[in-house]
Structure 1
Amino acid sequence: MGRAGVASHSRRNGDSSTRRPEAEKFVQLLTPQGELRMHPEHTIEVPPTELRGLYEDMAKARAVDAEGILLQRQGELGLWPSLLGQEAAQIGSGRALADDDHVFPSYRDHGVALCRGMDPADLLALFRGVSHGGWDPAEHNFHLYTLVIGSQTLHATGYAMGLAKDGADSAVIVYFGDGATSQGDVSEAFNFAALHEAPVVFFCQNNQWAISEPTEKQTRVPIHQRAAGFGFPGVRVDGNDVLACLAVTRWALERARKGQGPTLIEAFTYRMGAHTTSDDPTRYRNAAEVDEWRAKDPIARLKALLTSQGWADEAYFADVDDRCRQATRAVRERVRAMSVPDPKVMFRHSYADGHALVDEELAQFTAYTAAFDSEGC
């Protein structure tokens, strides 16, 4: 097993002290230097073609994410939550899924969305404010982004219980962050899933910051250990290791499909950017912490493996970068061309057969907006 080796760090700017808790063992198959290592319980054989596919997926996810930040800064999006640094956790787990599995995301899981075949423009449209949810969940078995922290764990558990009652040979995975584990919804979901042996994988991306609140102010024990209290397995994995995330998630999903109940995976990773584009992380964490995690970059370590083994060369990496640029350029053009919907459409789908109160609210809203039109605004 590998050791987390995570330095801690001053958790508030201006504090030169460091916090180095006892290193916690976790599953690691690819070191930050790009070296393969064995694990006694979780092994995986990934051919070079699949390794290159994982690299391309992570590179595309990072490119789409960077485009989202640029578009927001240029006034094209209202907000954007970055996944920078969490590509391995999302791509590794996302590629472990079968086509008939179901995903319940939070609001930062753009890499998983791409793995499921989602159009990145649909993700950007949501944050542009021109869609009401953004996509049909049934099209890719990828449910809607959830902004209410932790509530998707209950949705996923209930859906998984339904799948089990239907006799479906599929599983559910739900994504949430370390901050969500402080919500009661998550504990309730753990309990229901355990009692009913629901075929669900709880995938916690512990990026160590719930906005500005560090993990050590949320829990006294590593997050994956909470599963034991509910009666199901919990595993901590190197969240910057795409191979470990792939292997452990495959194992957990297979347990679920066999009727062996839920699993909690804690992907120990780091949010390299801001919580969202409205956040300034320099106000609560220092540069040394970020530099330390930059050395564990998930894409760089897979690139190092591909290079050292002769499975890819600089021409290949340049081609991947070029394809990513072309793809994001096309997405940018589509986003800028998106039409603004009539605001009154928000009143049309609250009730299937209409409602007198909604009609009254629509009339008030119509009169309110008409006042601006009459003033030439």
Structure 2
Amino acid sequence: MTPVRRTATRPGVAGLSTPPQLPEEPMPTLERFWTSTAEPPTQFVTPDGQLTELGAAYGVQPALAQMLYRDMARARRLDQEALALQRQGELGLWLQCWGQEAAQVGSIRALAPTDHVFPSYREHAAAMVRGVTPGELLAQWRGVTHAGWDPTSYNFHFYSLVLGTQTLHATGYAMGSVLDGDDQVVAAYFGDGASSQGDVNEALNWSAAGNLPVLFVCQNNQWAISTPIDLQFRTPVHQRAAGFGLRVFHVDGNDALATYAVTREAAALVRRGEGPALIEAETFRMAGHSTSDDPARYRTADELRTWQARDPLTRLEVLLRGLGTATEFFSDLDEELEALAAEIRRVCRELPEPVPGDLFTHAYAGPHALVEAGRLAHRELVDLMAEEA
């Protein structure tokens, strides 16, 4: 018996004997429905040092502008000296914050001293504002310590070299802070590249779900080592954070005054218990990812020149001079920077020589057979090299 083919009696039910025919004329595109929620970053000072309309309305406190400029100049001088010391063999590695000084200084100055900060690994400007000394900053990169300072002394955690992990540390710390009844803001710095890490996305989600007092500061420096942002993600970091339920802010990260104002507002709402927030600060990493990196292999000279014209120190200096800042301020600062440079060179060379064998000493809290085997093998290699020399 031949089976009967059943035909649906109403549209949309599986089993239609013949598919519906599409109209012959082309369907209209949906381009007119495409929208973008991207807003230009908040800016108070233009790259050529002029106040924007928003900046003029907000107003400039000369004392604040001078403090931010000094902070940035000190951080840049540290960078310059550390780079030279690394090239001379005094440091094993160095990651410069050159170009990102405003994003760091403007944000850290807007936080309360009691707010706890979790940096990544190039937040030297922020660290110096918190009082971390040059010797403490250089020690880790000289290889004489796993971490250069006591976090509780500065409410500034030591550097996290595992990409993005500090955002989860900050989230966990914030959970404890809430349980203790504190009103502190817990800040976490990370870069655009780290925003693709699972740790960062988990931290954003957990902080929002728990309404935790975390302020995430993303320094979007345009490059994740050699990968540009247009290959990293399709949606800006602050928009993705909004999808997790965070309050989000977008600021010109080369504008120290705007970054300060935005961070102050963001920190205030976090402190009031209105949940976590994220600031995406648009900036640029002027140097390579580290002293082991050659950015000329993947970055064009035109791009570098474009961002050099947006230099955070230059624009604030132009503004300060336009406001009538005395020349003595700049001359006195130059003398201070020379003294700082001499101090950096001195403390670096006074740090002890790193002892490679110490790598095995603190791997575990107690003895471990595999670690001991590695230590003995390393000792034999060192002795063999000494004999051959």
Q: Same fold (TM over 0.5)?
A: yes
Aligned partner (choices 29, 36, 39) of residue 51 of structure 2: 36
Map of 2:342 onto structure 1 = 329
Q: Supply the AA of the counterpart residue of 2:323.
A: Q
Say which is worse superposed, 25-34 or 363-372, in terms of deviation.
Answer: 363-372
Q: Do the aligned partners of residues 22 and 190 (structure 1) sit closer, same or farther apart at CA in structure 2, a change above 3 Å counting?
A: closer
Which of 314, 325, 346 in structure 2 is aligned with 1:300?
A: 314
Please state how far the C-alpha of 1:347 moved relative to its aligned partner. 3.1
- Normalising by structure 1, report the TM-score: 0.88
- How far off is 1:159 after superposition? 0.8
User: Who is 1:128 aligned against?
Assistant: 142
The answer to whether 1:119 aligns with 2:133 is yes
Q: Distance in 1 between matches of 2:300 and 2:372?
A: 52
1:238-296 deviation digits (Å, cap 9, x = unpaired): 00000111111111111221111111110001111111111111111211111111111
Instruction: Give the direction of change, closer, same or farther, for the CA distance of 1:299–1:376 in structure 2 (3 Å limit).
Output: same
Q: 2:166 aligns with which of 152, 156, 162?
A: 152
Deviations 1:74-94 (A, max 9, x none): 111111111111110010011
Q: Counterparts of 1:61 and 1:351 in 2: how far apart (Å)? A: 35
- Secondary structure in 1 matching 2:193: helix
The answer as to 2:252 corresponding to 1:244 is no
Q: Please, which runs of 5 or more residues in structure 1 have no aligned partner? A: 1-20
Residue 344 of structure 1, CA deviation: 3.4
Rounded Cα–Cα distance in structure 1 between residues aligned with 2:115 and 2:38: 34
Mapped partners of 2:129, 2:293: distance in 1: 27
Q: Which of residues 222, 239, 243 is equivalent to 1:208?
A: 222
Change (3 A) 1:23 1:353: closer
Shift of 1:353: 4.2
Code of the aligned partner of 2:348: V
Q: Is 1:344 aligned with 2:386?
A: no
Q: Secondary structure at the match of 2:279?
A: strand
Aligned to 2:65: 51
Distance 1:281 1:344 in 2: 33
The answer on whether the counterparts of 2:222 and 2:229 sit within 8 Å (CA) in structure 1 is yes
Aligned CA-pair RMSD: 2.2
The 8 Å contact of residues 43 and 247 in structure 1, kept in 2 or not, is answered as no
Q: Is the 8 A contact 1:226 1:234 kept in 2?
A: no
**Farther off after superposition, 23-32 or 152-161:** 23-32
Q: State how 1:5-84 maps to structure 2 within 5 Å.
A: 24-39=39-54, 46-84=60-98
- CA separation in 1, counterparts of 2:167 and 2:303? 30
CA distance in 2, matches of 1:281, 1:372: 35
For 1:79 and 1:351, the matched residues in 2 are separated by 25
Give the equivalent residue in structure 2 for 1:161: 175
Which of 308, 315, 323 is the matching residue for 1:309?
A: 323
Runs of 5+ unmatched residues, structure 2: 1-35
Instruction: Give, in whole Å, the separation in 2 of the partners of 1:169 and 1:132.
Output: 30
C-alpha distance after superposition, 1:285-330 (max 9, x if no partner): 21111111111111111111111111232x3212212211211111
SS in 1 for 2:280: strand
Q: Which amino acid aligns with 1:27?
A: T
* C-alpha separation in 1, matches of 2:45 and 2:311: 12
2:299 matches 1:285 = yes
Task: Find the aligned partners of 1:43 and 1:195 in 2 and give their Cα distance.
Answer: 36
Quote the residue 1:257 is aligned against. Answer: 271
Letter of the 2:40 partner, please give it: K
Match of 2:3 in 1: none
Distance in structure 2 (CA, Å) of the matches to 1:172 and 1:131: 25
Structure of larger gyration radius:
2
Q: CA deviation at 1:25?
A: 1.1
State the percentage of identical aligned residues: 52
Paired amino acid for 2:52: R
Q: Describe the SS at the equivalent of 1:201.
A: strand
Deviates more, 1:67-76 or 1:338-347: 338-347
User: Given the two structures, how large is their TM-score scaled by the length of structure 2?
Assistant: 0.86
Which range is displaced more, 315-324 or 247-256?
315-324
Aligned partners of 1:343 and 1:291: how far apart in 2?
Answer: 41
Contact 2:144/2:355 (8 A) holds in 1: no
Contact 1:154–1:188 (CA<8 Å) still a contact in 2? yes
- Give the secondary structure class of the aligned counterpart of 1:220: coil
- Return the letter of the residue paired with 2:76: R
- The 3-state SS of whatever aligns with 1:35 is coil
